[in-house]
Amino acid sequence: MITPDHPVEDTAMEFETIFDAHYVRVARVIGRIVHDPARAEELAVDVFWKLWRSSTGSGENVGAWLSRAAVRAGLDELRKQARRAKYERFVGWLLEPRTPEALHIATEEQLRVRSILALLTSRDAEMLVLRSDGLTYQELAQALGLNPASIGTLLSRAQDSFRKEYTKRYGI
């Protein structure tokens, strides 16, 4: 964000403004995917840290960039967790400590939905999560770099894939 014609002080203030405007939303997008609130907040901070260090510009694009970065951070974490679960018995002691917030058990339905998200293609999972967070078709297109005219079709396909995988694994 810091550029020769963009003084550091201005950049810092601008970053503060962006943080105030978007942090809660970013953390909640990640919190949809990652069960542990403390971990979701850590990842949200990482997203803003990346923004600070990146050359991403300000303005309308920042919201889209943050949406994309948030959903990807959450899905990456979800897939890591899925991989780790496979060999937990043997290297389970490497897993992160469970925070008090994480100790309450996720509902079975949440576990199922997250397990299916981990299986879908990145684009399908990103679309479903961001759509469920309330993004419009236009915002989805901006966040994921897609043609707005194709969002309806792509979203239907993502929903269809989600439904098929869910039904295959868990029935109706």
Partner 1 sequence: MESKPQLNEWTDAKLATLTPEWEPNTVRARARLNSRSPMAMRPRRLRFAAALAAALVLVAMLPATRAVGQRIWDRLFLTGVTVVRVDPDALPWSLNIHIGQKSPVRAETARAAAQAAGFTPMFPQEFGQSPQLAVLGPITASVNLNARQLQEALDKAGASNVRARQEWDGVKLGIEVRPIVIAEYPGSTLMQMQPLTLDAPAGFAMSEFVEVAFRILGLGAGEASQMARQFAEHPTWFLGVPQEDAVQMREVRLDSGPAMLLEDFKEDGGKERTTLIWSIKDRTLILSGDMTPDRAVAIANSVR
Interface residues with partner 1 (CB under 8 A) are 19-20, 23-24, 27-28, 31-33, 37, 40-46, 48-49, 52, 80, 83-84, 86-87, 89-98, 101, 107, 109-110, 113-114, 128-129, 131-132, 156, 159-160, 162-163, 166
3-state DSSP call for residue 106? coil
Q: Which is nearer to partner 1, 10 or 96 (CB)?
A: 96
Q: How far is the CB of 6 from partner 1 (least distance, A)?
A: 19
Q: How far is the CB of 46 from partner 1 (least distance, A)?
A: 6
Distance CA 66, CA 87 (A): 32
Q: How far is the CB of 120 from partner 1 (least distance, A)?
A: 11
Q: Which is nearer to partner 1, 56 or 159 (CB)?
A: 159
Q: How far is the CB of 110 from partner 1 (least distance, A)?
A: 5
- Cα-Cα-Cα-Cα torsion 49, 143, 160, 75, nearest 10 degrees, comes to -10
Contact 112, 169 (CB under 8 A): yes
HEC string for 77-107: HHHHHHHHHHCHHHHHHHCCCCCHHHHCCCC
